[in-house]
Structure 1
Amino acid sequence: MVATRARLTVLSGPSGVGKGTVVAEVRRRHPEVWVSVSVTTRRPRPGEVDGEHYHFLDAEAFDHLVATDGLLEWAEYAGNRYGTPRAPVDEQLALGLPALLEIEMQGARQVRATAPDAQLVFLAPPSFEELASRLTGRGSEPAEVIERRLAIARAEMAAVGDYDVVVVNDDLARAADELVLLLTAPPAG
């Protein structure tokens, strides 16, 4: 894969839309695509590998990255912090190759503020009803948690206008291929 210009592409969308699934399919179909690995202060879950799923840091190391502008974006969620290390992304772009971030919408807004040339891609469900079905179909959370997630998802979907491109996740292979095309396409304008 050869890009006409190195570009930073950010993929985000509402909870349950399938961001991780689409990125995994991109990696499966296009192993040459580079995807940033986030840092987190949370403990590894069973089966997670440091440097593959996340870079697991203690609070002091995370604080150092924040203090030294070592993160493109970061946020706290459920008592843990998550962020995108700046150096690996800068290295990828310096090589003239595209970089892909899979992050939440709050992080996408931070990237837009610090890297205005970044391409923001909103991964959308085929419909809100389909998203609700995906969230309730997990069966892993109580009804009040699902309702809270759906309320957040409504607000997140209303922010679609903040993004440069919308990719609808109605067919996994097509969505993955569309994302790869966006990574390699020359910037508009």
Structure 2
Amino acid sequence: MLFKVNIANEPIQTYKPQNNPGQYSSYNRPKPLMSDKFELNSSNSTVTNKIQPKNIDKVINDLKKLKSNIQGNIIVVSGPSGVGKDTVIDAFIKKNPDVNTVISNTTRKPRPGEKDGVNFHFIDKESFEKLIKEDELFQYMKFNDNYYGTTKKELNKKRQGHDVVINVTADEALKIKEKYKDKAVLVFIAPPSLKELEQRLRDRGTEKEEEIQKRLQAGREQLAISDQFDYKIINKTNKIDEAALELTKHASNEKDIYLKSLEKLIALLEKTATKSNTLRKIA
């Protein structure tokens, strides 16, 4: 199958999907293209921007297959404990349902309101150490005698045709950036002040004083390296939507150009298909 994109008066340029899902990266793709016109040549059909209604579903399916072969960005969110990272990410996902969340594993006990498979995969220490031994983890860390980490399988599955968002510590985020380069977008969520951060930790009511002090110290250490991140967002009190909108803006600006183009094209064709089906029913 061969996809061709035409930019205004420029010559048609070609983008050919292969079998390896991970082969497209910012280093080996052809020059990014944006277009209002689209042409698809497959084994026995040619579809232009004047697509016949009977062909729309096939074109949409072909485009979705192509989209699934592109690995999205890893939006890496970090920040001190208690700053509101999970709440910001939840609000961000509601505004961007096409972005996948990557659920990490942890050996700590669930906090009130947390659900297994939603906030974390809660597993025992023996199971986690087995993942480490078998090199199944994309990243992991240990804090307060509890492990936290994400499997490679989870990450790769969620990245097929989608950007993903992941919540890790600042030092782990920098390691991810070193490995994934431009495919990793680092966003640091910061509190308005350390005093406000301490108050949020105390209001949470889930840690003893010793643990609060450990988390505050870890927070200071993360803030010290936050200038190495691509973006920094101040999560103001009761302003979650503002932080989520800012995260949305940064994620959109960094989004893979082909992935963004395909998403727009698929949405346009699905809208066209819906209208065509409605008209046929009326007729």
- Sort the TM-score into its range (normalised by shorter chain): 0.7 to 0.9
**Partner Cα separation in structure 2 for residue 142 and residue 35 of structure 1:** 30
Residues 98 and 184, structure 1, Cα contact 8 Å, conserved in 2: no
Distance 1:148 1:46 in 2: 21
Match of 2:39 in 1: none
TM-aligned CA deviation for residue 159 of structure 1: 1.0
Distance 1:45 1:132 in 2: 18
Give the Cα–Cα distance (whole angstroms) in 2 for the partners of residues 62 and 140 of structure 1: 23
Q: Identify the residue that residue 112 of structure 1 maps to in structure 2.
A: 177
Contact 2:100/2:159 (8 A) holds in 1: no
Q: Aligned letter for 2:153? A: A
Relative contact order: is structure 1 or structure 2 higher (C-alpha 8 Å, sep ≥ 6)? 1
Answer yes or no: is 1:186 the counterpart of 2:254: yes
Q: Summarize the alignment of residues 27-42 of structure 1 with structure 2, pairs less than 5 Å apart.
A: 27-42=93-108
State whether structure 2 residue 242 is matched by structure 1 residue 174: yes
State the AA in 2 paired with 1:70.
Answer: E
Runs (5+) with no aligned partner, structure 1: none
| 1:35 Cα deviation from its structure 2 partner | 0.9
- The reply to whether residue 22 of structure 1 matches residue 88 of structure 2 is yes
Taking a change above 3 Å as real, the CA distance of residues 152 and 82 of structure 1, as seen in their structure-2 partners, is: closer
CA distance in 2, matches of 1:59, 1:138: 25
| Alpha-carbon shift at residue 144 of structure 1 (Å) | 5.0
- Please give the residue correspondences for 1:120-159 in structure 2 after superposition, counting only pairs within 5 Å: 120-138=186-204, 141=207, 143-159=209-225
For normalisation by structure 1, the TM-score amounts to 0.80
Cα 1:38–1:143 change in 2 (3 A) is: closer
Structure 1's 157 and 48: CA in aligned 2 closer, same or farther, altered over 3 A?
closer
Aligned pairs, number: 185
Q: Which residue does 1:8 correspond to in 2?
A: 74
Name the CA shift for 1:184/1:139 in 2 (closer, same or farther; >3 Å).
same
Query: Which position in structure 2 is the counterpart of 1:98?
Result: 163
Matched residue SS, 1:84: strand
- TM-score by structure 2 length? 0.56
Structure 1 equivalent of residue 270 of structure 2 = none
Shift of 1:66: 2.0
Answer whether contact 2:170 2:226 (CA < 8 A) is retained: no
